[in-house]
Structure formats: structure tokens, C-alpha cells
Structure 1
Amino acid sequence: MISAYFNGKFVDANDPVIPIDERGHQFGDGVYEVIRIYNGKPFMLEEHVDRLYQSAYAIKLQIDPDCGALKNTMLELIRESGLINLDLYVQVTRGMASRNHLFPDCPVSVSMTVKPFRTIKIGEKGAGVTFLPDERWQNCFIKSLNLLPNILAKQSAYEKGFLEAVLVRDGKVTEGTSSNVYIVKNSSIITTPLSKHILSGITRMAVKGIAIENGIPFIEKQFTPDEMIQADEIFITSTTMEIMPIVRVEDHEINGGEVGTITRTLQEQFKERIFHSIPV
């Protein structure tokens, strides 16, 4: 089965194809995207590609301006994989050159991998999260390959029995290690405003659109861990988790440990968008 692509060739993901001097490997010098494909159709493909280009621009990485060619390669890999429900990972790095901190004069590298996605069953009943300090760099709006602080925080949460770590900077919630965070209070959805400190989530865009369509106030403002604990409902979102209800924050139960009405509405409407290709 074809499950990967590297610089013009479709290969098996287990084939050794990345040179040791690849700058993604040496420095994490690159950006990436994760796109979910439902029934053979990439969900919100244009938004993902736009964000990939925005991340590349932010680190002065020159991607081919013809995004149509990149999208065609994605679609070809999806077809070659033989899968219909899958996650597509796209990485673009500054290329292959002898190790040197300065930008090399060489072509960028583009790699992609695909794998079947799994539905996270815990999304039906909700999960738990913990708080950790946000120790990442200042430019978290870039979807870069440098994820070590995220990995360490996610692992710490896992070891404590939680699905996710909610990160806190200067006394305010920013986001999760791999998710955007929302609270529901007085029938309004509240989430951290977009800034350099959080990623502009693609699923976040979908949630905002659903909220507006359903007359649910969508408020972008900062909130504290205490405000989160006192919320009527909590949920987090990402491409791979979709809309995940949170029913426990550390040792605090949220909404009696039950998934809230607004969160359920968002989940149902999100599934409608998936299966009926409703544009955002």
C-alpha cells in the first residue's frame, strides 16, 4: 500500500527516504498540517492549505506559490492509499544541506504520510484535563515542527490520567497541547482570542460558524483557570479529536460529569458538516 510521499515519489511509509542532513530532522526547521479525510473527501482542505502557507511565510520558508500542485499531490496520495477515512500529514522543511544554522540555498522538502484515523470513543462521554504552565515559545500561531514542550506537557497529563493539558500563561488559559479550549457560561461559548500565543484551529473555525448559525454567542476573550473550573460546560477541539467534551478539570467535576447541551449540539452539527460537505 502506498502510504507516503517524499519530494516527487510515492513510497511506503516504512521506506528509508529522509537523508540525515534533512533540516526537519536536524533543526525542526519546517512546518506541517494534519488534514482529516472523511469518505474520501478532505475536510476544510482550503483552510488547512492556507494555514500551511501562512506558517511557512512566518518562518521565511519559500513554498511553491502554486498551491494547486500541492493539493493535487495530496489528492493523489489519498487515492493511492486505498483508504477512505484517514489522516493526511503534510510536512514542508527548508530542505537538505550540511548542518548550518543559516538558511541554505537548496530546494525545500515536501513529505506526506497517510494513516487510517480512529474515532475517539471517549468523545461520547467526555474526558478530563489538567492545568500546566505554558512554557512554549512566543509564536505558537505557527504550526511548526518544534513540538517538544507540547509533547512533554501531553505526556505529563497522560501520566496523571488526563487526556489533555490545558496551558496557562500569565494567569490566563491559552490552549491545549494539541487543541483549542472553550468554556460555556450562561449559554455563550467563550474561547481565547487569536494571537501569537495560540494556533488558529481549523475545527475552531467550524465551531464558530456552527455557533453563529445556531444563534449561540461566540465570545473571544481570555479566561482564567478558576473561570474554567466554574464553567457550565467545557470542550476542546482539534482535527483529530474533533469536538471533545471535558467533564473533569483536575479534581473538579463539570456539569455533574455529563456532556452539556451546547457541546452535544456542536458535535451533532459538526457531523452534519462532515457528511454533507457544508462549507464553513
Structure 2
Amino acid sequence: MTNIVYLNGDLLAKEDAKVSVLDRGFLFADGIYEVIPVYNDKPFRLEQHLARLQYCLEQVDIDNPHSNIEWKNIINTLIKRNGGGHLSIYLQITRGVSETRNHDKPSDINPTVFLMASELIVDETNISTASAALLEDIRWQFCDIKSISLLGNMLLKNQAKAKGHSEAILHRNGQVTEGSTSNVFIVKHREVFTPPQNNLILGGITRDVIIELAEAAGLKVHQQKITVDELLAADEVWITSSSREISPVTNIDENIINNGNIGPVAKVLHQEFQDFKKSLIL
């Protein structure tokens, strides 16, 4: 049972964890987060997750409260206290608690650090598919920062859900950016394409792994702009994330992708991803 959380140096039951109403994360969404998958007790690509954490903290001018060694100890302790196995670790850092609600950045407060674990459902045999709605990207201009301010993402995801889809694929001025909770790939003539990493997308750790595995399998990978027309005409479309891994999209609104079937490239990379995970655990 995943009931033990970490809060500002203490391990305690989830129901006993309390944060001040004057925490700037609560008042202003003034903070960042990370999500780290854990397979058989081992955090997946922890160094890369911690590097992204450091980057995001620097972008919002919050001091990193821990060294990488300290983070690893905290995360490994939390894994053990929650029974290990396959987990998802959620890590959140806010600027901290101010004496009053004030837009000015205070200089004399300590960050609030919170981590919790949840069960990670892993099906290493079957590939889960998704359907998507194509929606205009209404979010802010700094999507490369993993901000706890996810209102735009939530609104878009809920619009997609209201239309009967599991995800929203987003676009700005006719160019695909990412999903509301995922990165986007397409395949055309057995070549793989994904939007370039910039301020309009959150560069996913799973995205990076998929690119590495595709190239290792001899596939050509292009990190370049993708138009909406190219998306809808693709042989395969996938979304990727830490929780989904690689998930083929069978339809985008009324547009059916690959006759609603899982494509051959997705099948190959799904298996490569599973083999890669096992190689890290052995």
C-alpha cells in the first residue's frame, strides 16, 4: 500500500501530511514537479529526471534544496517504505511559505519539498492504445518548465475526455506541439518524426528513450516541425509518457490512423522498450 509520503524531511502517513495555506504553491502555483517511474524497486533514468528538475528550478529561480545524492537517498527510502515493485514517484517543490500573500518573490523562505508514491500498472506484453482530440494549444509560452500550474493542460485534457477521447493532441498555428500529458510521434514510410524540443513542449524522458531506441534499431528519426496535415496523414501516431510508455493513437477525432490498428514500428519499439527496462534491472 502506497501510503507513506515525504514532506520537508519527514516520512509520514499521507493523511498526516499538512502544508500551510500560505504556501506559494497553493496560492500561486509557484513550484515545479517531476514524475519518476520505478521498475522493480529501481528509479528509471533517475539522473535525467534530476537534471530536468535542476533545469526547471533554475528557470523559476528556486534553489535546489538537495544534492543528487540526497535526492537518491530520499527516493530510494520512499520506495522501500511503500513496498517497492513498480511505482510512480511524484516529486514537488514549491518556493515555500510566505508570511503574507504577496506577488513579490520573498528572499528568506525555504522551499517546500513533497514526494509521494503510487502504484504503476505495467503491462509488458500488450500495447495500450489511445484516441485523441485535436485541439488548439492554449497554454503559456514556457511549456519546457515542468510547472505545477497545469490548468491549461487540465482544461484541454477534459475537453478531449468530453468528446470521448483519452488524450488531446495540441497544435499552435498549424504546427503540432505535444499532447496535454504526453509527447507526440508520427511515422511516415517507416521514418519517425517528433516535434523539436523547445519552449513549446516539455521534453519527456520517455521521449528521449524512444528516440535512442529507434535510432539503435536502424530507424531514421527526425526532430522537426510537424504540421496538422502531416499528423493526420501519418502511417502511425503515438503518444509517449512515463506512465503510458509508448501508446499508439488509433484515431484523431474522426480521422482513423492505420485503419485503427497498432502499427509495425510501434510494435517493434514497444518490445525494445520492454527489453531496455529489463536490461537495467538485471
TM-score for both structures, normalised by structure 1: 0.95
Structure 2 Cα separation of the partners of residues 180 and 210 of structure 1: 16
- Per the alignment, residue 151 of structure 2 pairs with 148
> 1:120 & 1:133 partners in 2: Cα distance?
32
| 1:103 aligned residue (102, 105, 111) | 105
Q: Do the aligned residues in 2 keep the contact of 1:138 with 1:197 (CA within 8 Å)?
A: yes
1:124 aligns to what SS in structure 2? coil
Cα distance in 2, alignment partners of residues 219 and 16 from structure 1: 45
CA distance in 2, matches of 1:131, 1:255: 17
Query: Is 2:7–2:17's contact at 8 Å kept on the other side of the alignment?
Result: no
Equivalence map 1:86-165=2 (5 Å): 86-97=87-98, 98-104=100-106, 105-119=108-122, 124=127, 126-165=129-168
* Structure 1 unaligned blocks of 5 or more: none
Question: In structure 1, how many angstroms separate the alpha carbons of the residues matched to 2:72 and 2:28?
Answer: 26
Structure 1 equivalent of residue 39 of structure 2: 38
Q: How much does 1:126 deviate? A: 2.0
Provide the aligned C-alpha RMSD in A: 1.6
Give the match for residue 251 of structure 1.
254
Question: For 1:266 and 1:13, how far apart are their aligned partners in 2?
Answer: 37
Q: Which residue of 1 aligns with 2:223?
A: 220
**C-alpha separation in 2, matches of 1:259 and 1:17:** 45
Q: CA deviation at 1:262?
A: 0.5
In 1, the alpha carbon distance for the partners of 2:161 and 2:245 equals 19
- CA contact under 8 A between 2:38 and 2:89: conserved in structure 1? yes
Q: Is the 8 A contact 2:170 2:179 kept in 1?
A: yes
Given that 1:126 and 1:258 are in contact with CA atoms closer than 8 Å, whether structure 2 keeps it comes out as no
Letter in 2 for 1:219: H
Quote the offset at 1:102 in angstroms.
Answer: 1.3
Aligned length: 278
Partner of 1:83: 84
Change (3 A) 1:148 1:120: farther
**TM-score between the two structures when normalised by the length of structure 2:** 0.95
Q: What is aligned with 1:189?
A: 192
Task: Give the direction of change, closer, same or farther, for the CA distance of 1:276–1:251 in structure 2 (3 Å limit).
Answer: same
- What is the one-letter code of the residue matched to 2:276? R
Letter in 2 for 1:183: I
Does the CA contact (< 8 Å) of 2:240 and 2:246 recur in 1?
A: yes
Q: Distance in 2 between matches of 1:182 and 1:28?
A: 30
Query: 5+ residue gaps in structure 2?
Result: none
One-letter code aligned to 1:168: H
- AA of the residue aligned to 1:255: N
